[in-house]
Structure 1
Amino acid sequence: MSRAVVFDEVGGPDVLRLVDEPAGTPGPGEVRVRLEAFAVNRLDELTRSGASPMPVKLPHARLGCEGTGVIDALGEGVEGYEVGDAVVLTAVPDMTANGTYADHTVLPATRIIERPERLSPVGAAALWVAYSTAYGALVEKAGMRPGDRVLITAASGTVGLAALQIANQIGATPIAVTRHAAKRDGLLAAGAAAVVATDTEDIVEATRSHTGGAGADIILDSVMGPGLAELAKAAKRFSGTLVTVGWLDPRPAPYPSVPITTHRYMSFEHALDTAAVRRIAAFLFAGLRSGALSPTVDRVFPMEDIVDAHRYLEQGQQGLGKIVVTTGQAG
């Protein structure tokens, strides 16, 4: 038997419970992964609480769209992998049916990549969603180049921290945005060339000050909401690009009226494209080897404490980095 975190109704963290169930058998083209660690993402909270537009298959729904572990069973026709290989999951076809909050998950072999040797299970669990989202939005979508000034909102979040490192790896100049001036030193240490704290500064004025009056070449926004139109004014007129990747503020977001290019980026746009996944993995692994990229982990919980992990996320106690949960299945 295998353990899995499930919920039978939407609601607060207390709806989550740990149950025993069969580990599952991989079909043709599939692998079964014995999970060692998984990350807790905002999407998980939205799904559990009923706030996500994604349909939830109740009862006995699961959570988890990323994780890492070791292959312990191969389906017919799988090539390029062997039992015992350490892997990172790049996409989960239906997380409410077979998500990663578990000891095991079964998924297509096309939805995993080899885990870099230098990454521990905890570090690997914090890698894919944040870094592939930041890379996809900045490089694939916005075409970030060396020398670009990149304004990054919610910079202390997981995508924001990944974006700081990726911008530096490319040779761009990352400018971090945070609501709290108390996070300034931490963001500078994390790689920001400058920090705009909106509790004490006007975001448009501060951005123009940090860019010699020109404005940001690229804005990466994870917030949306009513402030989006004002944020867009911080971009370079006519040639600036705004890419939105999240919706931390669920209120309506007015469309920017300034003359810039806008994109909406969703991570599954590239997560299901095998060629794009190869490009993303090659870039991230090069950054890991050079030391330019290093996943940031805020806190680690055992799977038995999954309710506490969700409470921690929901209460906004999170510092810099990812919340990771370990299954105790390493080795």
Structure 2
Amino acid sequence: MATTVLFHQHGGPDVLALADLPVGAPGPGELRLRIDAIGLNRAEVLWRDGNYIEPVARFPARLGTEAAGTVDAVGVGVAGFTPGQTVSVIPAFSQNDYAVYADHALVPASAVIPRPDTVGAVDGAAVWMPYLTAYGALAGTLAPGDTLVVTAASSSVGLAALRVARRLGATPIAVTRTDAKKATLLAHGAAHVLTNDTQDVAAAILDLTHGRGTDHTFDAVAGPGVTDLARTTAPGGSVIVYGALSGRPTPFPGIDLGLPALTLRTFTVHEVTRDPERLRRAHAFVTEGLRTGDFQAVVDRTFPLTAIADAHRHLESGTQIGKIVATVEH
């Protein structure tokens, strides 16, 4: 039996509950893992609330797509993994099919990557999704000398984007709500930090770029602010939307701005994690960044799995810097 987090209806953190469920043997193409740490993701809040890009197919529902642990059993046809091996789970599947908020879980082998012994479980649960997301969205888009605006920059993905931009030779401009996180963002590679509460961010972007505008924007907020981001994008630049923290409808700004020469696109990490060749390249890029110290896991706080509702409340508070991780006692 596995201690597993379930929810029987959509709602706030209080709908999350623990249950003992059978795990079973891994099927073809699957691994059974002993889970030691779980990375929390805003997508799981949307999944719990019923506002995710994919609907919950059935209740009770499970959740979670990022974890670290050890291989417990190997299914038929799976190569490259052995019992006792340390691994990380990356978001590459539907939470209708698999979930890792548990002390043991079945997962597709295609969503598992080896974890070096030098990377602990907490870091192993925290590092991959942020850097795979930032790499997938920005590699091939950013060129040396480009400027990149990163909104919600203190999130785990935002912090990763600052470091990825630096490694690709670009200049990152961080956007956050208040001055409270400014020093941290500068320490993680931001060339400039702009604050929504104290500045006209659009005017500040134009000032920093001498009126030209930024080459690219990596936006987790969406909503009406996308129009200002588009307005401050240089000709030929792009706005990449990968989240919806505003919770408000997002306009298409092109018509209002007179059809400027810019690209507006959306992105999810599944573009990388569900494409074996892109995942191979991303894994190599991130692994090298970890080896050199250019990349690192940033963990805001850990909670025991038994306090998963409190962990979700902290996630929704917006006060964290980096990743929130749930740990599992065995």
Same fold (TM > 0.5): yes
Q: Residue 265 of structure 1: CA displacement?
A: 0.9
2:322 matched residue in structure 1:
321
Measure how far apart 1:157 and its partner are. Answer: 1.2
**Mapping of residues 265-304 of structure 1, within 5 Å:** 265-304=267-306
1:81 alignment counterpart: 81
Q: Could you tell me which residue of structure 1 aligns to residue 67 of structure 2?
A: 67
Give the one of 149, 168, 173 matched to 1:170. Answer: 168
Residues in 2 aligned to 1:48 and 1:320: alpha-carbon distance in whole angstroms: 22
Residues 23-102 of structure 1: matches in 2 within 5 Å? 23-102=23-102
- Looking at structure 1, the residues matched to 320 and 16 of structure 2 have their Cα atoms a distance apart, in angstroms, of 23
Aligned with residue 180 of structure 2, among 159, 169, 182: 182
- Match of 1:227, SS state, is helix
Aligned positions of 1:193-272 closer than 5 A: 193-236=191-234, 238-257=235-254, 258-272=260-274
Say which is worse superposed, 200-209 or 284-293, in terms of deviation. 200-209
Aligned equivalents of 2:204 and 2:118: distance in 1? 38
**Counterpart contact for 1:37–1:125, Cα < 8 Å:** yes
The match for 1:160 among 155, 158, 161 is 158
Deviations 1:196-229 (A, max 9, x none): 1122222222112222332111111111101111
Structure-2 change in CA distance of 1:118 and 1:233 (3 Å): farther
In the aligned structure 2, how far is the partner of 1:177 from the partner of 1:195? 6
Range moving further from structure 2, 279-288 or 13-22: 13-22
Query: Could you tell me whether the CA contact under 8 Å between 1:61 and 1:96 is conserved in 2?
Result: yes
Contact conserved, 1:150 with 1:172, CA < 8 A, in 2? yes
What do the CA deviations read for 1:60-97 (whole angstroms, capped 9, x no partner)? Answer: 21110111111110111211111111111123523244
Corresponding pairs, count: 325
Question: 1:263 and 1:58 mapped to 2: Cα distance?
Answer: 31
257-266 or 227-236, which deviates more? 257-266
Q: Give the structure 1 partner of residue 257 of structure 2.
A: none
- Tell me the distance in 2 between the aligned counterparts of 1:118 and 1:193: 30
SS in 1 for 2:32: strand
C-alpha contact (below 8 Å) 2:92/2:273 kept by paired residues: no
For the Cα contact (< 8 Å) 1:92–1:99, is it kept in 2?
Answer: no
After superposition, residues 304-319 of structure 1 pair within 5 angstroms as 304-316=306-318, 318-319=319-320
In structure 2, what is the Cα distance between the partners aligned to 1:104 and 1:95?
15
Q: Counterparts of 2:202 and 2:94 in 1: how far apart (Å)?
A: 40
Assess if the C-alpha contact under 8 Å between 1:116 and 1:285 holds in 2: no
- Per-residue deviation, residues 97-151 of structure 1 (Å, max 9, x unmatched): 43110011212212211113332111111112221111111114xx212221111
Separation of aligned partners in 2, 1:151 and 1:96: 34
Comparing 162-171 with 46-55, greater Cα deviation is found at 46-55
Quote the RMSD (CA, aligned, Å).
1.5
SS in structure 1 at match of 2:199: coil
How far apart, in 2, do the equivalents of 1:63 and 1:96 lie? Answer: 8
- The amino acid that maps onto 1:321 is G
For residues 139-150 of structure 1, the aligned pairs below 5 Å read 139-140=139-140, 143-150=141-148
Q: Partners of 1:5 and 1:175 in 2: how far apart?
A: 38
Cα deviation 1:152-171 (Å, max 9, x = unaligned): 11101111111011111112
1:24 aligns to what SS in structure 2?
Answer: coil
Counterpart amino acid of residue 246 in structure 2: D
TM-score, normalised to structure 1's length?
A: 0.94
CA pair 255-173 structure 1, distance change in 2 beyond 3 A:
same
